[in-house]
Structures are given as C-alpha cells and as structure tokens.
Structure 1
Amino acid sequence: MQERQGLLDVIKERIIIGDGAMATQLYGMGVPVGVCYEELCVSKSEVVASVHRSYVEAGAMLLETNTFGAHRAGLARYGLEGQVEEINGAAVRLARQEARDGVYVAGTIGAITGAKRQLAPPIDLTNAYAEQAMALLNEGPDAILLETFLDLAELRLALQVVRKLTDKPVIAQLALLDLAVTRDGEPVQDAFRILFDEGADVIGLNCRFGPADMQRVLQGIEIPKHAALSVYPNAGLLSMTDGHYAYPSEPEYFAAAALDFRELGVRIIGGCCGTTPAHVAAMAHAVGNLPPIEIKHRQKAESAIVVRSSAMRAVLEKNAGEMEASQEPIHEKVLHTHTVIVELDPPKDLNATAFLEGAKALQSAGADAVTLADNSLAMIRMSNMALGALMKQQGVEPLLHISCRDRNLIGQQSHLMGLHALGISQILVVTGDPSRFGDLPGATSVFDVSSFDMIKMIKQLNQGTGFSGKTMDVPSTFVVGAAFNPHVRHFDKAIKRLERKVEAGADFIMTQPIYDPRFFAVLRDATKHLPVPLFVGIMPLLSQRNAEFLHNEVPGIFLTDDVRERMALHKGARAREEGIAIAQELLDAAIEQFKGIYLITPLLRYEMTAQLTSYVKAKTSPQ
C-alpha cells in the first residue's frame, strides 16, 4: 500500500481547501449559544460528525477538529476541565472518521486568553497548551492548527510548546484587530517572520476580518522566503437580524476571493466565522484543481510603521516640551519640592458651580493639582472629564481618576483619546467599587481589564499604539498614577502588589487616607526602594458620625482609637476644628517622610482642604 503524501508535500503541488465554521453550522442546527460546543464531540458526536461530513462533501481537503476552546481554561467555564483528554481525543477520532482519501485532519488549538488579556483565575498557559496538544497528538492528527491568536507573544508560546512535542506540520494563524499590527503591537510582517523562524510550517490569518481586509494585509507585507501561507476569513461582519446571528458574504464572493488569494501565493484557503459548506464548495470549484502560485517576494519597503514611529518620537518630544513649559507634571515636581494634590468630588446633580468655585479656591491656596474621582463608591456623579475640561479653562490643573469598572475597552480608549484632545494628561487608574454597592445596583460592572493591565495599556498609548495594537498618528503623554491601600491584613503582600503596579508603568502612587502619624515612617521604610514618588493620603474629619462611618463602612479606611475618641468629644463647628487639628498633626508627621501630600476633601468642604493646603505650603516653603 502506497504511503499517503504528507500535508506539506501536497501544498507544494496544489491549493488545499480548508473547511468552514463549526460553530456557525452547529448554531444553524439549533444548538444554542452558551453550550460547550467542544463537549458535543462526546455527548452528540453524530451532530459534529455531520458537520465534518458536509464540508468533505463540499470539497474540503483539511478538516479542523472541533477543539477550538477544548483547553483547560475553556472547558473550565462549563465545569469540564477534567475532560481535556476525553474531548480532544474524541474530536480527532470524529474528524478522522469523516476524512476520505486525500482529506487531512488538523488538531485545532485556539488562543486561551482571547479577548481577555488576563484570565481570572490565572492559568499556566504553557501547561494548558501542552495538555491539549498531547491529547490531540495521541490520536494522530496530520497537523496542529494554532488559530485566532490576537497576541504574537501568546502564539509564540503555543508554537514553542507544540514544536517540542511533535515534528508534525504546525499551522500558526494570527487574528488581527488592526490591519498593520498584532494586539501586542508587533507589525504583521515581523510577526510572520518570527513565527516562521521559530518553526511554524504554515503562517497565516483567520477570523476578525473578511477576505478583502486579509488581502490588504498580505499585499502590504513581505512574506518570509519558503514560507507557506494560509487564510481563513470570516464571511463579512456579524449582524443580528430578527433575533438571529448572520454574516453577509455569499459563496460566490468567496469563490472570487479564493482566486485572489491564490494570486497572493496562499496555499491553504478555508473559512472562519459565518462560512458554510456552500462557501467551501464555491472555493473548491474556483481553485481546488489549480496549482499554487509562488509568492511574489516584494522588496521590503521602508515600513510605514517605522516612519510613523520616528514621527511619533518627534511629536512626543514636542508634547513633552510643551507640557514642561506649561505645567510641570506632579511626579517630577515632587522630586524637588513638597507637592500637594487635593481631591474634590464631582457633584451628584447638574449644578457644577460650587465644584468649580472649590477647585479655584484650592488652586489659590496652592494646590498643585485637583483630582476628581470617577463615580467613587459606584455613586453617580457628573463626568470628571467634562469638569476637568472646565477646570482647564479656569487655569486649574486636573488629575482625573479612571475606573476599570464603568467602561469596556472601547469606551476606555475613547475616553483617553478625549482626555488627550482636551490636554488633560495626569490620571489615576483605580479598579473601582462594584456597581452592586452603588446607587444603581442593577448596573453592570465591566472590568474588562485589571488596573495593572489598564496602566500597561495607557503606557502603550504613550508609545503611539492603541489598545488593539493599532498605530496612532500621535502618541499620548499621560502621566499615570496608581492607588495604594496600606490598611490591609497582609501589608507585605500589599507592597508586592504595589511593586507590580510600578512594573506595569505607574509614574506615581496615591494612598488611601492615613490617620496614624506613626505609620508614615513605617510606610516610608516599606516603599523607599520604589523608583516612583508616593503621595500620602490625609482627609480631615467633619464629626464623630463622619469618623465612625469612614472607619466602619468605607473600604480601605482605618481610624485609630485616639482619633475616634477625640472626634467624639466635639460637635458642630468645634468638631470640624478638631478634624483640622488632627489633619495638621498628621501633616507634620507626613512631611518629615514624604514630599507628596494627597488631601481628600470631605463632602465638598473645600475650605477645609484649602486651609490644609496653605498649611503645607507655609511649613515647607523656604524661609
């Protein structure tokens, strides 16, 4: 019996037609969204087998196993993390069962992080990829297909893991959010070269875009010599009609696209989301019997990204110079003089007059920046972006909090782009209190990313790269702060967490309010190794009731017994005077250890923090 040709030998001689979408077909057969489609390989194997069969009958020569999310992290969403071997093994056997002579089977592994940059709980990606790869390889697929990877770094990791386990062909496919770069900022041309150099036998693209955009990507880059290309485009953009998901691209369009892909040197052409056996049949009819065309290796032109990066550096230097001339950033100013940030909460209604009067009063008292929370405690307040713009008009320097809670990544980048346009460059990234504890408990907490990731992504924006990896014409110039709560049971762990924020790119730190004067020295010793300045928090108290509320009900605030007892002795105006006196004593201790002071205004009583700002400036100004 003659031994069958290997997949890599076949693609030298003819175009290989891949299959189309598995999930689209299963959804069309009545399998609801929310079901673990990969588990159907075990519980409803005939349904999955019928999809494979339909693609073979349409002319597919390469079947993908129904294992896109059959890694430990994906299966854990359904409580199936213990069935990695069973599901992946069953999937290969099903595909093999339906593969006729001349049809190959690729064991499919999808990206684990997907749209999320960080998984909760975290997972060991190396072990997860190795576990799934071994489960697939044990059943003898003809190749391994790594698909829908948004980040080059993760695809490289998966490729390295698989390459150590097998010498079978490996197809490595990126999914792009931007036509020029991967989500982690690597130009596609360079990403392809890296993947090929590290052992991918076939490199390509799948998902996210339709045929036209994938053709634009391939037309604009140099392909590594001797590399084979694959493409699995979507059937256009997803839409919902009459309650059903649908994609617009017709099979005839894919037939024409397949001819164009062949002209670009592509060897494997299949379909991703929205494609059906009809799309595969159209492509098979168009190019299935045609020999491949050698890739036209274009001379590498000077990369537009490199040129743009050079321009970005010039703009960045210009912006930095303008910022320095107009307002020295607080994280630099605090290195040579005592610097005061004062927090003033935005109003809960539509009247901003008192707030703006307060902001102006604080500036007159000597505040170096006025910081505005972003719906703190999940309570609805006026947009700090709008108020920050009004403050800029009055000559008051704003420092805006940005919460991870209220905006998805689209909204977050849009918000930051708006801040950049307004000339607001100083920000504090916070996680944000859960919505269910606020005044609209039915609202959704988004939390697309953690505060660590948000800091990294903002610093990436400063390098001229958007959250999706898209190159921006102008880089931002954000100075990014991070919050720190020292009032925790395990202080050493809190310091480790703070170190991670600094590693992520934080330029300065702002702490929760501190009410123990002895603690400033402790905090100084614990953070003196950090390369960024700390602004220590102090908030004057209004009354005994205010003190007890903060101590007992507000997360991250702890009052000493001495402070609570002193506030209990006074009422009305006298209590506020005592609150000022306590705050001044705390400031005396803080100034000895730190140059950065962060005053928090209680309930819009800005006259109190204005008085304390003046106190700091008087105590620290040269005599």
Structure 2
Amino acid sequence: METFREYLEHHIVIGDGAMATLLYQHGIPVNSCYEHLNVTRPDVVQQIHRSYLDAGATLLTTNTFGAHRDKLSRYGLTDQLDAINRHGVRLAREVAQGRAYVVGSIGPIRAGRQMYMDEETLRKQFSEQATALLTENPDGLILETFLEAEELFIALDVIRPLTDIPMICQLSIQERDTTLDGYRLDEAFRHLMDAGADVIGLNCRVGPYGILRALEQVHVSEDAILSAFPNAGLPELVDGEYVYQSTPEYFGDSARIFQKNGVRVIGGCCGTTPAHISAIAKAVGGLTPAPIVPSVQQQKETSTIIVEEPPTEETLVDLVKKRHTVIVELDPPKDLNIEPFIEGAKALKQAGADAITLADNSLATTRMSNMALGRLIKEQIQIRPLLHMACRDRNLIGQQSHLMGLYALGLDHVLAVTGDPSRFGDTPGASSVFDHTSFDLIRMIKQLNEGISYSGKPLQRKANFVVGAAFNPNVRHLDAAIRRLEKKVEAGADFIMTQPVYDMNLIEEIYQATKHLPIPIFIGIMPLVSARNAEFLHNEVPGISLPLEVRQRMAAYEGERAREEGIAIASELLEQGMRFFHGIYLMTPFMRYEMTVELCKRAVERAYAAEKM
C-alpha cells in the first residue's frame, strides 16, 4: 500500500462524513463527550467508521476532534486524554485494515468563542493532543474546523516539528473569503503552505455551494492540494431537532464540480451520512486529480437614482386592500459601507416599491442594525421601512425595549420571525436567546398597541405597530402549515409574507388554501442568478424548494444570460402571483437590486394596466 503522501499525489481521496451526527442517531445524548466513547463505547465508534469505509471512503478520521485538555476538563476527563486519543487511532486503524488511510483529528480550542487563552496554553494543549495521537502512528493528521486562522497557524507551528506525516489544514468560514479573525483565504492558505501544510481546504459551517464559491476565489500555487468537507446544507429546526436537507445526489453532483476545480480531498461534515459519502465515491472515486481552476468574480455596476415624492401615510394593509402593493427585501450590509444599500433603496423607490423590508441578521450572520437603516431610508428616501424582528438575539427585556425604540423612531411596520440559530452564523460563540416564539412576539407587539407592556404595566400611550408573520408554503403537507399560519392570525398578525415560491401551481394552491384568512398575503418571489444559485437554494436553504423544470431552465445558461433567465422565471411567477394576490414580496439576491428593480417595474406596470381595463 502506498504511503498516504504518495496516494495524495495521484488520486482523489474520498473522506468520511460526520461522526457526531451518526452518534446522535445511535442514541448518544447531544451533551455527552463524544470523544470519550472511544473508551466507553468503542463498538459504536467502529460501527460508524465501518459504515463510511463500506460507503467508499479512502480516508477515515478519528473520533478525537475535541479530545484536548480544555474540553475534556469540562467532563472531568483530563486524566484520560492520552487514552481517548490513542484509542481513537486504534479503532479507526482496526476498521481500515489497509483499505483506507487513518488521520488523527484535532479541532480548535477557542473555536471562535470569545474566551481568553494565552498562546502558550494553546501551544501546550495542541502539543499534548498531537503527541498522544502520534504515539499510535496515524497516516496523517487533520486540523479541522478552525474559524480563526491565527489559531490554526499556532497549531500547525506546534505540531509540524513533531512529525513528517501529511497534515491536512482546514479552515471554516461564514463569509465568502475571510476567516473570523479577518484573514483572506489567499493569505491564510499561503501561510499554511509555507508552514508545512500538505493539504489546505475548508470544512463545516456551510454546504457545498458555500465552500465552492470560497475556493473559486483563492489563488494558490499549482502544486497545492485542496480539500473540501462541506456540511449537508444549512440545518433547519424541525420538531426540536436540527435536520440537514442536502441529498446524497446533490453531494455527488457537487463532488464532480469540486473535482473539476482541482479539489483532491473530498468528504463531508455536519449532517453528512454514509449515503452522502457513497454518492461522492461513485461520482469521483475513479477520477484523477484535475488542475486548480479559480474563477473570475463578476462585478456589478450601480447607478445613481433620483428620489421621488414621499409615500402616503396609509399602512401597507390599507394599500393592499385597494391595489397591488409591492414590498422589496434589501439586506443590510455586513460591513460599515451603507452606500450600496442606500443606492439600492433609491432605485427601488423610483421603480415603484411601496416599502423596503430589512432582515434581522438573517442566517445568524451579523449585519448592520435594520433599525438604524430603516430610520435612514425613511428620512432620506421617504420610503416605508418594514423591519424583521427575530426572537434569537434579544430576551424579553431587550425585545420590548427594541419595540419601544422603534415606536420612538416612527418605524411602525414589523415582521415577527423566529430567527436562525446563532451556532450556524458568523459568531458561533453567541447565544441564541429564544425567550419566546414568533407567536409570543406577535402577541407582545399587539399588547403594546393596547398600551400595555409584556409584564402588564400601563405605558401611558398606545403603540401603532402593523405586524406581519412569516409563512413557508414549500412543505409536503400544506394543510399542516396552514393550521400553523391560522394560529399566527389568531395571535394578531395583520398580514403574511411567504418564503419565495418557484412553482406556478403552488401559487394557486396557496391562494385556495388561504383565501378564508381575513388578512392579506404577500407572495414571495426571488429571482435566481445562476444554476448554482438554484441548486444551492433547493438543496441547502431551509424553507425553499425549486421544481426540476426551473433548475433545468437555469442550468441551460451561464453568466448574464442565466440572470436574464432568472428574471424571466420570476416574471412568470410574478404574473401568476398577481392573478391571485394583491401583495407582492420581492427578495433581492446578493444585493443585485437591479434585478428586483426590473421586477418591481413590471409589477407596477401590470397593476396600472389592470386598473385601466
């Protein structure tokens, strides 16, 4: 059998998938120390290794990701650190039996948490764990899921002198090409290669689409070996459990794209199963490595738009009862530059939008306060802001305080949403509050409208909020979703905004299923920008589903022609939507507001033409 380094030079390496996901499925509680199972339940750990080996993995990763002193101390297991790591290698080796290589897993210690730990302590802990793993002679080491490049630099600097076996170094990112501590991937990868990393790559945090987009932007030397271990899409909370929705077939298709772009080590992370690894193995297992091919990032142009007259003081609910009404979502920036956002809002105002709706740190990614931007566009552009409010970030005190602030600023339209869990955003050390549900938030807002605080105290004045509720119709059982929606109406919702819909027939089904409701519905439409964007939304984003026909239409085009097709599809959906609903909710993809500007103009023109008939 070739050495692992020799094998890396000439083969596509099929990594394994998630360990914790399968341990959880085996009934191991989520608050357990999974690494300790190497000692207490070796049979379960080996069963998982064997399932990945049988699926086609040629690389098995030890169950030692968090087997360092800092984590083990939380369970009173520091005296078993050596045994846990050594057993981890032995268990994987016994399963591999020469059919796969074994790499010892070492994860971050800080893990993006805002904690103080001096560099010397970090060095001691990385050295301690690596020494224990190396005692059992693994074929390589994998330093994985590092959100901070600096911490990975420290780990590699400590461990590289201890051994000459191959080392895989993988960062985890939320943004497209930047680590949590501000390193661009180009810079971080170059540093890692100079410091002795044999393989550089990304894992966790995002699905195949996110990792592919990031890797396409990096420029590394031709002799670099890239790795990709994505999650099975973005998780969705279903009945108290996190569910990952990317299918094995999607992973197989993604693996082929990775291979064509020069990625040589391909596996899976959170949510992936032996079925996902089997799909990867079938897709690329027999292929040879391809050269690294970075893509060219496309730039978009913006234009200066003249602001028109201010809107009326009628609420959106008042407007939509009279005529077709268009609200457009425009995401707040992730940095301190608000100019593109302001220009986008101006363009949408001129196109005829009745309101701009701003998300509240969607996907748990930190963005500028939608309260501040809402006030700015109301003052500067004279367009109504509609602010999302998530239950995730504020406790009951903070939520009511925030609402009182909105009242003081004259921001009276809000959308109550649950919010994506913090652990999957760009600040994983943050806590998800969830003191209440979106139903409770709706009730709190309506109670403020009665001049009563959540605790029951009088507020001297009554608020005047118009509160919306979110609705996801992209489900298998629409009747169950409608029952949940009816409860939001009972809680006091004044209007409904749906997730984007891409099925013409579903639009009519939604109408038939909701026409008994006494409040207006704004049907969600979001234009697609590419085939990859379509596959990402379908396979990785909770609450969105695209028909095969739509994905095939997008797959037929690239570049600007693909965006034109995306607008064409959205226009057809818009036409259908306006047949059944007076409320239109357009979502702007990737700040490409020129797309929603065009759709907004079409909606306004169609509504005007209908009124003249």
**TM-score normalised by structure 1 residue count:** 0.49
The structure that has the greater radius of gyration is 1
